Amino acid sequence: MSTSLPEAVRLFDPNLPLAVAYSGGADSTALLLACADRWPGQVHAFHVHHGLQAAADDFERHCQQVCQAARVPLHVRRVDARHAPGQSPEDAARRARYQAFEALALDTIGLVAIKDIALAQHADDQVETLLLALSRGAGLPGLSAMPARWLRAGLSYHRPLLQVPGSELRAWLRQRGAGWIEDPSNADSRYTRNRIRAELLPVLQAAFPQFRSTFARSAAHAAEAKGLLIELAEIDLAQVGVPPQLAPLQDLSRPRQANLLRHWLHSQFAAVPSTAQLAELLDQIAACTTRGHHIRIKVAVGYIERRGSGLHWYNPALSP
């Protein structure tokens, strides 16, 4: 079942003081104001100026006005979110955003000791993420959609609104007369996520009125199974070694090899191999029966190669 904004914030139990990632849009405005109502004087706003749109300065000014009226301290970080060759614009912006949050937390840590950051993704965002994953043929990590809580660089991130529909957030803002800004990129039909929001969600609402909660339940099941695969990968990696040694790796079944390699690449290097790259790597591992067998396969922005008895991943752009 869906949850109201006040109920979601009531159930939210972060460490205080709390930072809210605040873009100025409807979702983050609702989360910021609701948290400021519940914990007056204990909430800070983190705004990331991406510099990707002409209106970015206007967004920052709007955030300043809202935070001043709500008596919430605003902390702004400007970043260069342009993507590198071969990198998606969305991934570049996401990485720049999290780096900005970490820097903001460090900048303010001596004064307020911020350790928890709340993000405003809601139930519709969760459904969009799951549908995107399905459209790309994703495995369990993708089908798990967005976690409600996770740790990164010593910070606890929270998504307390994953059970709240986006329409509920806007209705709550209108009821209290609060304004927000509309990001023009949200209406750009070139982005698949925007087409899902505009075209698919209304159809799902008509056909399956409870789709938000049922899709969330499926994502939770996938997340549970993903957790078990991670546990298995860590057990196998402890036996195979870091970096993975070929002989014990070859003793595992092909699915366990794939699971181990995905975990090793993602946990150590934030690299995610495509299905084709992983299949090619597994074929090479199976064929590697002599000392002279050479392995060098592109994975994400780097390469996996054989060095002696083991596998190594490196990014040429970072190599001396």
What are the extents of the domains in the chain?
5-212, 241-318
Give the mean pLDDT of 90-97. 77
pLDDT tens-digit series, residues 27-58: 999 999 999 999 999 999 999 987 666 677 88
Question: Is 241-318 a domain of CATH 1.20.1740?
Answer: no
- pLDDT band for position 149 (50/70/90)? very high
Considering only CA atoms, which of 174, 160, 130 is closest in space to residue 4? 160
- Which range is least confidently modeled, 45-49, 79-83, 234-238? 79-83
The fold adopted by the segment(s) 5-212 is Rossmann fold (3.40.50)
Residues 6+ apart with CB under 8 A from 159: 118, 119, 120, 121, 146, 147, 148, 149
> How high is the pLDDT of residue 80?
73
- pLDDT band for position 74 (50/70/90)? very high
- Which range is least confidently modeled, 11-25, 65-79, 84-98? 84-98
Considering only CA atoms, which of 42, 29, 27 is closest in space to residue 162? 27
Rounded CA separation 152/156 (Å): 7
Give the mean pLDDT of 18-26. 95
pLDDT tens-digit series, residues 165-217: 999 999 999 999 999 998 777 777 778 888 998 899 999 999 999 998 899 88
Rounded CA separation 298/273 (Å): 9
Q: Which string of DSSP letters, residue by residue, matches 31-66?
A: HHHHHHHHSTTSEEEEEEE---STTHHHHHHHHHHH
The larger pLDDT score, comparing residue 199 to residue 79, is at: 199
> How high is the pLDDT of residue 64?
95
Residue 25 CB burial class (10 angstroms; 0-12, 13-18, ≥19):
middle
